[in-house]
Amino acid sequence: MRRRLLLLAAAAALGGVAFSGDRFWLQFLAKAMIGSILAMSLDLLVGFTGLVSLAHSAFFGLAAYLLAGLTNRFDLVNPVVTLPLCVAFAAACALVIGWLSLRATGVYFIMVTLAFTQMLFYLFNDSPALGGSDGLYVKARPIEGRAAAYVAIWAAVVLVYLLLSRLLRAPYGRVLEGIRGNDQRMRSLGYPTRRYKLVAFVIAGALAGLAGYLDATLYGFVNPAQLGWRQSGLILVTVLLGGRGTLYGPALGALLLAFIEHYGERVTDHWNALIAALVIAVVLFLPRGLAGLVQGAPRA
């Protein structure tokens, strides 16, 4: 399939960069790939289950903050220990927030996830003990060295893609598709849909936590702005830009947005307006995103 070759080529190219030793590209692409993990995991919710969640960045931030706490307070750095802990923590938070949020449906759900993400933002922003608005430095990083971090992130992207693809082809994935199409009908067919949605929420949250962990590893720094609704909004933008419900689309959308953000900053002071214009244009004129251009016919 042409698409598979395209993705393989992209993965290989990204992997190859690890050997280049180029400081800028290693840092830049590593950051972009973290965005891909966030985008793919959010696509699971938005594109495949039909749940628009604004809480995604919260799980990203929670895992990152936990890593900071573990290394700074307990001198716990070893990735074998800290990685599962941080991801599990993000998953647990997603379980609680998801269970509460899914009691609401439709737009209520969106607004509840928004409120929770803001609550967490304020919690971290207003507490001096948690670093306040300045954030925290991560004393020691689980993975030292730019190239090593890059490879780890690259491996994570590939694994997340493979994992989610698998999941979506399995019976569980079919259920999500059905829920997105007609939740009420799924219930009358015998599926307790809220349970399945909660599982999706937890998986997405765990993967967002993985991204947060890797981000903190890469930069050695965590701050509250990573948790706000604006960040969540940007992740949604990458999903829409790339093409929701395709998995690879959002992954590429994240890469694209990273490029636009980076070069936009150089071109104009008002690059936020540029992003705004892009978002509005995509919503109005390219609702199926880039993947829609690639695929042509509507997804069956």
Partner 1 sequence: MSLSLFVLQVVNGVEYGLLLFLVASGLTLVFGVLGVLNFAHGSFYMLGAYLAWWLSERTGSLLLAILVAIPAMVLIGLAVERLAIARLYARDHLSQVLLTYGLVLLFNELQRALWGNDVHGVSTPRALAWTMPLGETQTWPAWRAFTALACVGIGVAMRQIVLKTRFGMRVRAGASNAEMVEALGIDVRRLFAILFSAGTALAGLAGMLAAPLTTVYPGMGESVLILSFVVVVIGGIGSIKGAFFGALLVGLADTFGKVLLPGFASAIVYAVMAAVLLWRPRGLLGPAFEGR
Partner 2 sequence: MPEALLQTGALTRRFGALAAVDGVSLAFAEGRVHAVIGPNGAGKSTFLNLLSGELRATGGLIHFRGADVTRATPDRLSRMGVGRTYQTANLFPELSCGDCVWLAAQSRLPSSMLFFRPAERYAQVGVRAARALEWCGLAERGRAIAGQLSYGEQRQLEIAMMLATEPSLLLLDEPLAGLGHDEALRIVELLRKVARGRTVVLVEHDMDAVFSISDSVTVLVDGRVLATGSPSEIRASPAVREAYLGEEIP
Cα-to-chain-centroid distance, residue 87: 13
Burial label for 231, CB within 10 Å (0-12, 13-18, 19+), is: buried
User: What is the nearest approach in angstroms of partner 2 to the Cβ of residue 79?
Assistant: 25
Among the listed residues 6, 170, 283, 293, the single contact to partner 1 using CB under 8 A: 283
Backbone angles phi and psi of 245, in degrees to 5: 80, 20
233 touches 38 (CB < 8 A): no
> Are residues 48 and 173 in contact, defined by beta-carbon separation less than 8 angstroms?
yes
- Work out which of 17, 29, 32, 114 binds partner 1, going by CB under 8 A: 114
Cβ proximity to partner 2, 3 vs 169, nearer residue: 169
- Pairs from 66-70 (Cβ < 8 Å, separation ≥ 24): 66/90, 67/138, 67/142, 67/212, 67/213, 67/216, 67/217, 67/222, 68/131, 68/136, 68/137, 68/138, 68/216, 68/222
Which of the stretches 81-89, 111-119, 217-225, 290-298 binds partner 1 when contact is defined by CB under 8 A? 111-119
Q: Which of 18, 21, 55 is nearest to 38 (CA)?
A: 55
Q: How far is the CB of 2 from partner 2 (least distance, A)?
A: 21
Q: State both tokens at 229.
A: 């609704």
Among 23, 174, 230, 270, interactor with partner 2 by CB under 8 A: 174
Per-residue binding string, partner 1, 32-61, x by CB under 8 A, is --------------x-----x-x-------
Q: How many residues bind partner 1 (CB under 8 A)?
A: 42
Q: Which is nearer to partner 2, 23 or 174 (CB)?
A: 174
Q: Which does 106 bind (CB under 5 to 8 A by kind): partner 1, partner 2, none?
A: partner 1
Stretch that binds partner 2, among 23-31, 118-126, 163-171, 230-238 (CB under 8 A): 163-171
Q: Which residues bind partner 1 (CB under 8 A)?
A: 46, 52, 54, 100, 103-108, 110-112, 114-116, 118-119, 122-123, 126-127, 229, 233, 236-237, 239-240, 244, 270, 272-273, 275-280, 282-284, 287
